Every structure is written in C-alpha cells, then in structure tokens.
Amino acid sequence: MATSRPHRLVGFLESRKNLTGSACGLAGVVLTLTGLAGPYWPVVVAGLYGAGALLAPPERPAPPDFPDPSAQLEEVRGDFGRLRGYLADVELPPAAEERLAGLTGLLAGLLEPGWVAEVLAADPEGLHAVSRAVRQDVPEAVDAYVRTRWWTRLTPGQEPPEAHLERQLALLRGEAERLADRLRDAEARRQESHTRYLEDRSEH
C-alpha cells in the first residue's frame, strides 16, 4: 500500500487533468500579476485550475497489445511442426495412420506460408479451428488412443480403441475440409465480385 501512493501521486501530477488545470491556473496567476484578478485572485486561480481539470479529456488506459493474426498463424505453424514430431514417434494402425496422414496433409496445406495462409489469417474463426485441431483435438485423440490401447491389452474383449481414433480423425478431417471449402468459396465470391465490377465499369 505504501509503495502505491507515490505511484498514484506521480500519476496524478502527470495526468491530463492536472496539466490542463495547472495551465489554466497559471493563466490565473498572470491575471493576478496584471492586476485583473483583484483581491479575489486565490479564488480566480483555483477556479481556473478546477475548470481546466474538468475540461481536460479523461485518461484512457492503453488497450491490451494482442498479437496480430499473422503472428498467431506463425505460432500455430510452429506448434504444428512440434505436433508432427510427436506423431512421428507414435505407432498407429494402418487405417488410422492413413486417415491421420490425410488430415495432417490438409492442415499443412492450410498453414503453408503464402497466400493461402494469408487467407486463413484473415479468417478468425478458421484460424481458431486450425489452432484447436493442432493444439488440442489431434494430440488428444492420439494420446487417448495410446492410453486406451494399453488398458485394452489388459482387459481384451472391449471395443478396439482404434475404432474411436479412426472416427475422431474422420470427423476432424471433415471439419478441415469444410473450412477449406469455406475459404475457397470466399475467394470465388471475391473473383465474382471483381467480374461484376469490371462488367459494370465497361457499361459506363
């Protein structure tokens, strides 16, 4: 508490209200020295200071500095590289391996540096979906399979864990494909809009 008081005092002294009020109060001192304020100069100086403090714009705290979409995309790309390193050390059944390869190939295409990634970076929902798949959904699906497979070996007869893994990977692949379709449709609409613009311009 003791250390916060000096900070508050310094903050007030540097505030817009105090600086504006001080400037107006200084004008009151000038009026006093020129004899225009008369015997009521303390009231004039205090009044001008208060008026200046009231007229000063309020202090505005700086908004949080969040990373821009391109920086977020670069972070996701780095996490995707770490995910691929993790997946390379996991042994999966052939069917699940094939589905995983299709999913990671699609994610790699979306994250590949270039204009496609720029389109993804401009789509907050799409970038969130890819980030969630890379950082949560895929590693969780694979890790759950590895853990469950060990228990299944102790208690055989249960539903094979690879069946769940294959379904999960198929669902994630479907989400990634729908995202790619949506981004493609956005580019197609952009192309169509440019065609209409050129057609309208040629008619005038």
Handedness of CA 192, 197, 200, 201 (dihedral sign): negative
177 vs 167: CA distance, rounded Å: 15
**Terminal alpha carbon distance of the chain:** 71
Task: Count Cβ atoms below 10 Å from residue 13 Cβ, excluding itself.
Answer: 10
CA 162 to chain centre: 35
Q: Give me the chain's average pLDDT, please.
A: 80
Q: pLDDT of 79-118, one tens digit each?
A: 999 999 999 999 999 999 999 999 999 999 999 988 888 8
Closest CA to 92 of 81, 109, 104: 104
pLDDT at 149: 86
- Spatial CB neighbours of 126, under 8 Å, sequence gap ≥ 6: 120, 179, 182, 183
Residue 2's pLDDT band (boundaries 50, 70, 90)? very low
- Spatial CB neighbours of 63, under 8 Å, sequence gap ≥ 6: none
- Spatial CB neighbours of 187, under 8 Å, sequence gap ≥ 6: 119
Q: State yes or no: pLDDT of 6 exceeds 90.
A: no
Only one residue has tokens 């249960």, namely 158
Task: Give me 128's structure tokens.
Answer: 């969130």
Per-residue pLDDT, averaged over 144-158, amounts to 80
95 vs 166: CA distance, rounded Å: 7
pLDDT at 1: 45
Q: What is the CA radius of gyration of the chain?
A: 32
Task: Give me 125's structure tokens.
Answer: 């929902």
